[in-house]
């Protein structure tokens, strides 16, 4: 084994896919998750894919005593990947205190534990949302950080600053900050995938749930943007590709390859795809006709944003490989599996 990695939020969408890739790469994994936005089924799915059952603690990173117990019981943790956070943009506007308390406090607790237990490495799950509406696309890591458009986005910005400040204080901490664009799709085995609680906030689960009949109709939030077909443009990145970037980041930190103690990477394909284009791609690969209608814009939506992934490609040694057609098909196969299991 290459060592033990702690993954917070490891039963969640991106977390579970990352656990699979860590295990495939030879790491032993400890998951902390409070199951507030996922279920233990993910652990079964992970085990069916890799044959390895991760160590699992059902707990909240905000519970410092419980968190300390994990580190006491796993003294060989070599690094952390921190996913656990509340992440619905719209909900964060309605419940700012929940977002600031959960998202900031959980990171502060982890950084405390790292110092108490001499764990040096943390990969932080951030988001392209920190850039706001880009002045130009594609957008690279030197682009200015804009005032956050939501408490969710603000917690990502503040957490990045907390990490920089603790490193600047001379603490024995190194971090790689990964700014995701739009993670979509599911593991090709259809054993794990995206399963948001309640009505999906994000586009792709809403598409697949509409196609399978769980949702009546998809609302497309605006087609009057300054884009080729009027709908918003995003950089949709396959979740397995995204997971593999986390393994590269852990490998890089354990090998102490970087001079800087905090590195930032944009994780995207570098291709902008519009909402309407994505719907057409989905209809083609799923051989279904999607019931959707154009409605008004959604408050806070960015018009267009896609990544310049050159730094991740050259420095991290990672490149997104999956094409959008196969990615949308993987999302559909996952939805069909959920139906087959009677889950949705
Ligand atoms: C994408 C596009 C919508 C739903 C957010 C966060 C980001 C990350 C991913 C956590 C937009 C349109 C959506 C629908 C629609 N979050 N849409 N109908 O807002 O780009 O990014 O989620 O990791 O940090 O900012 O993702 O999937 O919500 O929306 O038309 O029912 O799809 O208007 O243009 P978003 P999204």
- Nearest CA residue ID for atom 14, ligand 1: 203
Centroid of ligand 1 to alpha carbon of 59 (angstroms): 28
Per-residue pLDDT at 122:
98
Gyration radius of the chain's alpha carbons:
19
Strand intervals (E) in the chain: 4-8, 28-33, 55-58, 77-82, 121-127, 174-180, 182-184, 218-221, 233-234, 236-238, 262-267, 273-274, 292-295
CA distance linking residue 45 with residue 56, whole number of Å: 14
Q: Is the pLDDT score of 332 beyond 90?
A: yes
Active-site residue set: 152
Q: Is the pLDDT score of 90 beyond 90?
A: no
Centroid of ligand 1 to alpha carbon of 281 (angstroms): 17
Number of CB atoms found within 10 A of residue 73's CB: 11
Is residue 125 within 8 Å of residue 148, measured between CB atoms? no
Task: Tell me the best of 246, 301, 305 to mutate to test the pocket of ligand 1, counting ligand atoms within 8 Å of each CB and taking the most.
Answer: 301
- Nearest CA residue ID for atom 21, ligand 1: 182
Q: Span 273-282, mean pLDDT?
A: 98
Centroid of ligand 1 to alpha carbon of 255 (angstroms): 35
Task: Tell me the best of 139, 209, 222, 298 to mutate to test the pocket of ligand 1, counting ligand atoms within 8 Å of each CB and taking the most.
Answer: 298
- Nearest CA residue ID for atom 1, ligand 1: 203
Q: Mind giving me the DSSP string for 292-309? A: EEEEPPPTT--SB--B--
% of the chain surpassing 90 pLDDT: 95
Query: Which among 221, 272, 250, 269 is positioned nearest to 316, based on CA atoms?
Result: 250
Per-residue pLDDT at 197:
86
Residue carrying the six token digits 């956070």: 85
Q: Is the pLDDT score of 260 beyond 90?
A: yes
Per-residue pLDDT at 1:
86
CA distance linking residue 273 with residue 221, whole number of Å: 15
- Nearest CA residue ID for atom 10, ligand 1: 87
- DSSP 8-state assignment for residue 131: G
**pLDDT digits over 170-210, tens only?**
999 999 999 999 999 999 999 999 998 899 999 999 999 99
Centroid of ligand 1 to alpha carbon of 275 (angstroms): 10
Centroid of ligand 1 to alpha carbon of 109 (angstroms): 29
Pocket of ligand 1 (CB under 6 A): 87, 89, 127, 129, 180, 182, 201-203, 206, 218-221, 232, 234, 275, 298, 301
Task: Tell me the best of 92, 129, 328 to mutate to test the pocket of ligand 1, counting ligand atoms within 8 Å of each CB and taking the most.
Answer: 129
**pLDDT digits over 134-181, tens only?**
999 999 999 999 999 899 999 999 999 999 999 999 999 999 999 999
- The rounded mean pLDDT for the chain is 97
SS3 readout for the chain: CCCEEEEECCCCHHHHHHHHHHHHCCCEEEEEECCCCCCCHHHHHHHHHHCCCCEEEECCCCCHHHHHHHHHHCCCEEEEEECCCCCCHHHHHHCHHHHHHHHHHHHHHHHHHHHHCCCCEEEEEEEHHHHCCCCCCCECCCCCCCCCCCHHHHHHHHHHHHHHHHHHCCCCCEEEEEEECEEECCCCCCCCCCCCCCCCCCHHHHHHHHHHCCCCCEEEECCCCCCCCCCCEECEEEHHHHHHHHHHHHHHHHCCCCCCCEEEEEECCCCCEEHHHHHHHHHHHHCCCCCEEEECCCCCCCCECCECCHHHHHHHCCCCCCCHHHHHHHHHHHHHHHHHCCCC
């Amino acid at each position: 084994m290459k060592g033990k990695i702690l993954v917070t939020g490891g039963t969640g969408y991106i977390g579970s896919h990352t656990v699979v890739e860590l295990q495939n790469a030879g790491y032993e994994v400890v998951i902390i998750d409070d199951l507030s936005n996922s279920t233990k089924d993910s652990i079964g799915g992970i085990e069916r894919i890799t044959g390895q059952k991760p160590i699992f603690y059902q707990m909240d990173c905000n519970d410092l005593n419980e968190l300390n117990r994990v580190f006491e019981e796993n003294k060989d943790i070599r690094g952390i990947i921190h996913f656990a956070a509340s992440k619905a943009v719209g909900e964060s506007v309605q419940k700012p205190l929940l977002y600031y308390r959960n998202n900031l406090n959980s990171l502060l607790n982890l950084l405390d534990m790292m110092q108490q237990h001499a764990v040096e490495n943390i990969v932080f799950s951030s988001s392209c949302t920190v850039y706001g509406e880009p002045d130009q696309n594609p957008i690279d890591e030197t682009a200015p950080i804009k005032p956050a458009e939501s408490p969710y986005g603000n917690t990502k910005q503040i957490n990045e600053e907390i990490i920089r400040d603790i490193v600047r204080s001379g603490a024995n901490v190194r971090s790689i900050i990964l700014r995701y664009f739009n993670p979509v799709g599911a593991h090709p085995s259809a054993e794990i995938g995206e399963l948001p609680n309640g009505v999906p906030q994000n586009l792709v689960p809403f598409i697949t749930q509409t196609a399978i009949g769980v949702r009546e109709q998809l609302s497309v939030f605006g087609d009057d943007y300054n884009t080729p077909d009027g709908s918003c443009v995003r950089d949709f990145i396959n979740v397995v590709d995204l997971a593999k970037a986390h393994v590269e980041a852990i490998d890089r930190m354990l090998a102490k390859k970087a001079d800087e103690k905090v590195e930032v990477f944009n994780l995207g394909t570098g291709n902008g795809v519009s909402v309407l284009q994505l719907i057409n791609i989905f209809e083609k690969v799923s051989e279904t006709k999607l019931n959707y209608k154009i409605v008004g814009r959604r408050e806070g939506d960015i018009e267009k944003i896609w990544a310049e992934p050159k730094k991740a490609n050259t420095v991290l040694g990672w490149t997104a490989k999956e094409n959008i057609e196969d990615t949308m098909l993987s999302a559909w196969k996952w939805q069909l599996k959920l139906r087959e299991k009677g889950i949705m």
